[in-house]
């Protein structure tokens, strides 16, 4: 569709006026996101999408041996003695697990059984112990374990106290430039050992030493502006956690179950076994909203937290289970801009608040569904800022701006149409009446040249007076009215005074021949409070009175008496013009009659025009007074 130059300019003007608020909101949201002000809601949206994923089958490569509350009661002491730990590890080794992770601090002896535990540490190379390396309270590893048998358990929480990231690897403080001295996390140690048993070795990206590769799978590294994060610390190798979904993501076996053999040996064979505390009395919990069903609302055990990351790495390499990935910053902002402009376009196309509301709601549902599908495939996109700008622009500023602009344009069209109708009414009640009278006299009488020239001069004056009135009316169209007689009246005055002025000006017109025959003139108009009438009402009532009087002057042959009465009875007002002329001579509906009916209809009233006995005509309008001041 091609636009004319004028239409193109109007379209540009529309976009400047109506789209500017939407573009402003879009810019504010982009700046807010860039400044990190939207990080909180983006992380909440990320958690919500993860929690809505369908349930996965129980993880079969990672098993948790949890020392629970009944186990502690049976041992009757806490911390758990080294002897119990040593016996547990020894028994577990008989079931040939691939690797065992001990998520229990053992940097100092917990008698009895310390020597036994030291021997266990030295005996089994597939045993991984833990340490803490970050301040304020670093905790050393068990002294008998080799560096390759130690993983740190330091974790990083977000500002809301929830855990979504995991530190896999960091440089050693003693040898920061030696990659071989780097510190590994517990989950990375366990996953590396399991994958090595499958013939898959860990490697580093030559272009980015902090990036970790297993075979053809590179773990997506967390950066300072990954996803909804802004300016976060990205030292070391971190990943986003793609929690295993499901009511029971891992198999839990208690210490008592191991002692009594209350489990199937195949549950442990060739598995990753993680030993940890699962007693509620021990404060070892991590907050998360990314898992819909947790044993403790919004929390998981510390050992379970490490199990999620271990399983995530193993399944990403072996089963192609998706890791959490994000787009580059540039594409993320392009995505937000697209969703920011969509409601502006919808608003321009619809130009109706309710249609736009329905469109925006449907589009928002599509956005959420797209985001949900992508999170299932491991892609975290900026859904929160996109939904925010879609909602604000679609349900608020842009829709309202386009709607308002469209209403303004319709109002201007209506004003122009009203101006045309008022102009025609002026011509009809003035020059056309004079012309009709002149033609009637020319047909029935022999007019002299002087009489003809005089009446044509009057007609010329009336036409020019209308032109002058329209020029003035354009400056102040609502508060004034020009009558067919040429008189301009002020509509700010009380209506009963205006009625007297209209009556006097019209009845004095010399161009309407039957006015000269009237001997008795009765006029009285009850006042009406201005709160019941706006300027448009006053204009129409004046035109009604003028038209009704003009009809008497033109058609009431033999008229001797005329009554113009405005009567108020409670909240009902009746304006009546009655004469004793010849009555109605035609049953057809003239332009003037249609005009009078239209005025009555606009007031919500009733119109009557009929012959009366024995002679005469009555023209009447009746309407209910109601507060209509604008």
Model confidence pTM above 0.95: no
Question: What local confidence, expressed as pLDDT, does residue 473 receive?
Answer: 58
Q: What is the Cα 227 distance to its own chain's centre?
A: 22
Question: What local confidence, expressed as pLDDT, does residue 630 receive?
Answer: 47
Question: What local confidence, expressed as pLDDT, does residue 629 receive?
Answer: 56
144-148, 224-228, 484-488: range with lowest mean pLDDT: 484-488
Is 469 a residue whose pLDDT tops 70?
no
Query: pLDDT digits over 211-223, tens only?
Result: 999 999 999 999 9
Higher pLDDT, 287 or 491: 287
Mean pLDDT of 360-378: 94
Distances (CA, A) of 206 to 82, 116, 182, 209, 213: 42, 43, 16, 6, 10
Looking at the DSSP bridge assignments, the partners of residue 622 are 574, 606
Question: What local confidence, expressed as pLDDT, does residue 521 receive?
Answer: 92
- Decide: 245 and 291 in contact? Cβ < 8 Å: yes
User: Where do the domains of the chain lie?
Assistant: 5-35+328-398, 51-326, 480-624
5-9, 259-263, 491-495: range with lowest mean pLDDT: 5-9
**CATH of span 480-624:** 3.30.565.10
**Spatial distance between the Cα atoms of 137 and 135, rounded to a whole number of angstroms:** 5
- Decide: 192 and 184 in contact? Cβ < 8 Å: yes
Most confident segment among 176-185, 441-450, 502-511 = 502-511
Question: What local confidence, expressed as pLDDT, does residue 461 receive?
Answer: 73
Question: What local confidence, expressed as pLDDT, does residue 277 receive?
Answer: 96
Alpha helices in 319-448 (DSSP H): 329-350, 353-376, 383-392, 398-429, 431-444
Higher pLDDT, 25 or 293: 25
Query: pLDDT digits over 527-548, tens only?
Result: 999 889 988 889 889 999 999 9
Query: pLDDT digits over 344-361, tens only?
Result: 777 666 666 677 778 888
Contacts of 311 (CB under 8 A, 6+ apart): 59, 61, 62, 244, 249, 250, 272
Question: What local confidence, expressed as pLDDT, does residue 569 receive?
Answer: 92
Mean pLDDT of 435-460: 76
Higher pLDDT, 587 or 286: 286
Question: What local confidence, expressed as pLDDT, does residue 407 receive?
Answer: 67
**pLDDT-derived band at 598, boundaries 50, 70, 90:** confident
252-266, 474-488, 534-548: range with lowest mean pLDDT: 474-488
Question: What local confidence, expressed as pLDDT, does residue 11 receive?
Answer: 62
Looking at every residue in the chain, the average pLDDT score rounds to 87
Which single residue is written with the structure tokens 């540039």?
Answer: 330
Question: What local confidence, expressed as pLDDT, does residue 124 receive?
Answer: 96
Question: What local confidence, expressed as pLDDT, does residue 475 receive?
Answer: 46
Mean pLDDT of 504-524: 90
Is 174 a residue whose pLDDT tops 80?
no
């Amino acid at each position: 569709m091609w636009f004319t130059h004028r239409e193109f300019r109007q379209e540009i003007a529309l976009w400047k006026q109506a789209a500017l608020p939407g573009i402003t909101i879009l810019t504010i949201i982009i700046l807010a996101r860039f400044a990190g002000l939207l990080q909180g809601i983006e992380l909440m949206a990320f958690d919500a999408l993860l929690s809505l994923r369908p349930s996965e089958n129980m993880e079969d490569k990672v098993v948790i041996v949890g020392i629970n509350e009944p186990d502690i009661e049976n041992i009757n002491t806490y911390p758990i003695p080294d002897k119990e730990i040593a016996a547990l590890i020894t028994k577990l080794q008989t079931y040939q697990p691939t690797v065992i992770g001990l998520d229990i601090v053992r940097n100092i002896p917990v008698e009895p059984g310390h020597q036994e535990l030291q021997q266990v540490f030295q005996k089994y190379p597939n045993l991984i112990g833990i340490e803490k390396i970050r301040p304020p309270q670093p905790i050393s590893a068990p002294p008998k374990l080799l560096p390759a048998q130690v993983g740190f358990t330091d974790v990083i929480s977000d500002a809301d106290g929830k855990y979504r990231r995991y530190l896999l690897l960091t440089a050693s403080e003693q040898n920061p430039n030696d990659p071989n001295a780097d510190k590994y996390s517990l989950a990375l140690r366990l996953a590396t050992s399991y994958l090595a048993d499958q013939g898959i070795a860990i490697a580093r990206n030559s272009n980015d030493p902090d990036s970790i590769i297993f075979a053809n799978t590179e773990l997506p590294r967390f950066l300072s502006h990954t996803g909804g994060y802004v300016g976060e610390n990205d030292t070391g190798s971190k990943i986003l956690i793609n929690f295993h979904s499901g009511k029971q993501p891992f198999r839990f076996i208690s210490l008592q179950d191991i002692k009594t053999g209350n489990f199937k040996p195949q549950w442990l064979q060739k598995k990753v076994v993680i030993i940890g505390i699962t007693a509620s009395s021990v404060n070892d919990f991590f907050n998360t909203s990314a898992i819909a069903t947790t044993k403790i609302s919004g929390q998981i055990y510390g050992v379970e937290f490490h199990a999620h990351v271990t399983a995530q790495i193993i399944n990403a390499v072996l089963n192609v289970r998706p890791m959490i990935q994000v787009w580059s910053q540039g594409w993320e902002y392009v995505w937000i801009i697209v969703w920011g402009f969509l409601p502006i376009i919808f608003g321009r196309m619809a130009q109706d608040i309710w249609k736009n509301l329905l469109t925006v709601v449907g589009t928002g549902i599509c956005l959420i569904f797209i985001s949900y599908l992508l999170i299932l495939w491991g892609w975290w996109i900026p859904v929160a800022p996109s939904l925010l700008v879609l909602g604000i622009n679609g349900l608020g500023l842009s829709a309202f701006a386009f709607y308002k602009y469209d209403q303004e344009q319709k109002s201007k069209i209506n004003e122009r149409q009203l101006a045309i109708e008022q102009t025609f009414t002026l011509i009809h009640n003035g020059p056309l009446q004079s012309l009709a009278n002149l033609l009637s006299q020319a047909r029935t009488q022999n007019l002299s040249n002087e009489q003809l020239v005089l009446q044509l001069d009057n007609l010329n004056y009336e036409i020019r007076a209308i032109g002058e009135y329209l020029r003035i009316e354009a400056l102040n169209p609502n508060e004034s009215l020009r009558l067919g007689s040429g008189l301009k009246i002020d509509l700010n005055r009380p209506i009963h005074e205006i009625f007297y002025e209209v009556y006097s000006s019209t009845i004095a017109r010399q161009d309407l021949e039957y006015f000269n025959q009237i001997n008795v003139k009765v006029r009285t108009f009850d006042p009406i409070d201005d709160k019941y009438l706006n300027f448009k009402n006053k204009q129409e009532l004046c035109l009604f009175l003028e038209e009704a009087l003009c009809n008497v002057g033109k058609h009431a042959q033999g008229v001797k008496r005329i009554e113009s009465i405005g009567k108020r009875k409670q909240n009902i007002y009746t304006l009546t013009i009655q004469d004793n002329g010849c009555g109605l001579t035609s049953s057809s509906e003239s332009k003037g009659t249609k005009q009078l009916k239209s005025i009555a209809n606009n007031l919500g009233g009733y119109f009557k025009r009929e012959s009366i006995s024995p002679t005469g005509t009555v023209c009447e309008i009746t309407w209910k007074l109601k507060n209509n001041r604008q």
